[in-house]
A and B are shown apart, each in its own frame.
Chain A
């Protein structure tokens, strides 16, 4: 049985091409790997050498101008990349005068100008990297270019890098720029905004308070802001947050309750206790946790009643909250664990027994 010669010829060419491809791929793989490994090794070695020189200069009494000159003399121009990496490696942990000297070195050695140029005219991947660098070294000169880039780029990666850098730099102009951007854009991933806001929590607090007070925010963003607020530890947030305990969306009510608990606000105890009658399981569970976190001793009765809640999560939250309320809460739990309906007994026993196991570790 013979096939057409056309098909056989095609297959023959196919075999030759594929065989060539296999060999070419193999050679290319080895070459690329060798080149990449060699380059990386060299870069790492040079970076380590330069790192020790820079650390020595930063720790000495040498004037910043002289330090920059020394680095320019000691490090050959082909080693600018490892020098940049060495400076960036030191940046996150540099504080006070050391951070200023580092920023000065970056400026004098031309790295900041290079990053600003990349930010304004570079490829998208370079723009984001440049923004991160500028943020790390805290260059105040970069605030203007960062704000301009923020306005002109829809790419989320670049936007986040710019916001992050501005937050790191932290000058009033930078903070205002970030707040202004966030007030008018809600498409950026929430977790990334949280990173930006929590980087300078104190500075951003007034803006967050204003956003919460003004309202008109969609539930998704609102939930996010309430979660951030919970982590801010700012008592001035209590009033605007309390306003959301009556919101239509149960998720918002739950997050508001949680935020009040985290803020440890005892003034909200009455409102939180009333939320234990909410129709939403999540709201009741968060309210119970908040009552415990805020130390609302007057809510003892409400929490005891919550031990009989039809939802297991709410029962668990009530029992945990009672444990947080000190001796009175503990006594209530012991009472329920000894004699009560099965559900109430289980909730109390779970918390008490887990606590007992924890304490046995401390004892040991």
Chain B
């Protein structure tokens, strides 16, 4: 009897905690989405008065070095380099960093662009591994290819920073296609607020299923694959909802490694990317916040909802699982490395709001959710479950999640319209439901597992199977 009383007490206490957690988390989501709605409206109104041609012609437009780190990217590298060289921008160089690929990434580039070895002065402004050679192309002198010993993505990016010569560094993943005007859009904050802009991030969209011609996404279509579709809704929720919302509060902790612009000088000051992390993109941004706030330097980071970068996402259970595992490990590392910021008023809104959110909801969320499911199983086995309450709580939780996902589809559909056909919209709404039934629970499991792999797996490039864009 005593055991039953204790168990009942524990379960009731846990339920109360979960309920409070649930209310706080969802209130946070609502606030972020409300901010995202306002920010979207503001951005679109402002965009009407912006003529990108004038940005293109302006003598003040800063020069940009686009860095593309590549490790075994033979399937996509030519498409991506061609797309990047076709960007509409007045002055830029494309620096491809071949990080000791064991496939024919470098050979393909050498052959296609008739690369020639040149002397290039390179100072070790940020720590990086040994650079074997630097090549330039006679067919396009904006292209620079760096061949270096394998050292991981962060190390490759650091080598790119050292070789780059312009004030703004734009990082693009080797499996991503940047839209032609995206560089102009992402450079705009650096042009408008040159004194305090240190970073700007764009939106990552999913290219699976889209038609690609001449290294450019020409027709946006939804894929047939379940995993790709749920990720489309997931990306919309993350980019058009959460990140835009955080940006409104000047508290963005992530700029996607697939597409982001940074002030080179600030990157050099913080010694570039940390090669000892798998989530180098988030770690860099969090460390940048820490560095600049601790020195009380005024700065701004922007999230812009319309510079678009298209990327391929994994289409198999294993592929998505590995990716999520890597992301969660990156999150754990980034928060761990910068734990001094947590609830530290010295770091302002970052320390008092953004960091606690990421620690309590993003980091601990999967554990709390999984514990919840476990507690249901325990209560069930002890016959201490109130099914009416369980069904109701689950329904509220899932419906709330569905509403948040549909809100993201709303923002996409009414503001950006990248999926213009009605059937696509209906399909997206359908996946906004599926996203919360099944996928969310699997995702929770992957993210919880990442706590174990965090201590067991060595840091290396997140390899995934690439498909040529023409075949997507």
Contacts and interface: CB of A to CB of B under 8 A. Distances in A.
Given A18-B400, A316-B165, A195 B414 contact: no
Interface stretch (B63-71, B135-143, B308-316): B135-143
A346 interface: yes
B420 A37 contact: yes
Nearest to A362: B138
A135 to B, nearest CB: 11
Contacts of B82: none
Nearest to A20: B399
B398 to A, nearest CB: 9
Contact of A194 (B46, B58, B141): B58
Contacts of A12: 392
Contact of B403 (A18, A157, A161, A354): A18
Nearest to A160: B49
Interface string B358-390: 000000000000000000000100001110110
A349 interface: yes
Interface string A1-33: 111000110011011001101100110011011
A358 B403 contact: no
B171 to A, nearest CB: 22
Interface stretch (A83-91, A169-177, A224-232): A224-232
A354 B118 contact: yes
A360 interface: yes
What's the dominant secondary structure at chain B's contact region?
A: helix
A15 B392 contact: yes
A346 B119 CA distance: 7
Q: By CB atoms of chain A within 10 A, which of B49, B194, B429 has the most?
A: B49
Interface stretch (A42-50, A95-103, A125-133): A125-133
Contacts of B137: 357
Interface in A119-150: 125, 128-129, 132
A361 B385 contact: no
Contacts of A220: 195
Given A14-B392, A22-B403, A228-B59, A316 B121 contact: yes
Interface stretch (B254-262, B328-336, B405-413): B405-413
A330 interface: no
Contact of B192 (A33, A132, A157, A191): A191
Given A350-B119, A353-B119, A29 B409 contact: yes
A74 interface: no
Interface string B157-174: 000000001000000000
Contacts of A11: 389, 392-393, 396
Contacts of A297: none
B116 interface: yes
B393 A194 contact: no
Interface string B5-47: 0001001100000000000000000000000000000000110
B396 A34 contact: no
B121 A347 contact: yes
A198 interface: yes
A192 to B, nearest CB: 8
A22 B429 CA distance: 10
B1 interface: no
Nearest to B392: A11
Nearest to A11: B392
Q: How large is the interface on A (under 10, 10 to 19, 20 to 34, 35 or more residues)?
A: 35 or more
B2 interface: no
B404 to A, nearest CB: 11
B121 A315 contact: yes
B388 to A, nearest CB: 6
A1 B385 contact: yes
Contact of B414 (A32, A198, A361): A32
B392 A33 contact: no
A34 B425 CA distance: 11
Interface in B244-302: none
A208 to B, nearest CB: 13
A230 B58 CA distance: 12
Contacts of A21: 399, 403
B138 A132 contact: no
Contact of A25 (B57, B195, B410): B410
Contacts of A192: 192
B470 interface: no
A147 B239 CA distance: 40
B54 interface: yes
A63 interface: no
A357 B118 contact: yes
A354 B406 contact: no
A304 B311 CA distance: 47
A298 B395 CA distance: 82
Contacts of B138: 357-358, 360-361, 364
B399 A231 contact: no
Contacts of B402: 22
A221 to B, nearest CB: 12
A312 interface: yes
Given A30-B422, A33-B425, A198-B58, A25 B403 contact: yes
Q: Which of A3, A7, A220, A349 has the most CB of B within 10 A?
A: A3
A190 interface: yes
A195 B384 contact: no
A36 B414 contact: yes
Contacts of A364: 138
A11 B120 CA distance: 67
A44 B409 CA distance: 25
Contact of A22 (B8, B59, B139, B399): B399
B193 interface: yes
Interface string A340-364: 0001001101100110011011001
A157 B399 contact: no
Contacts of A194: 58-60
B386 A33 contact: no
A191 B188 CA distance: 9
B111 interface: no
Contacts of A29: 406, 409-410, 413, 425, 429
A350 B8 contact: no
A357 B117 CA distance: 9
Given A37-B420, A191-B191, A227-B59, A30 B400 contact: no
Interchain residue pairs A-B with the least CB separation, the first 9: A231-B59, A18-B399, A361-B138, A11-B392, A349-B119, A353-B118, A1-B384, A15-B395, A360-B138
Given A33-B414, A37-B422, A191-B192, 16 more contacts: A2-B386, A3-B386, A3-B389, A8-B392, A15-B399, A25-B410, A26-B429, A30-B422, A30-B425, A125-B45, A191-B58, A198-B59, A312-B123, A350-B121, A353-B116, A357-B137
7 contacts: A11-B396, A22-B403, A33-B422, A189-B193, A194-B58, A224-B60, A228-B60
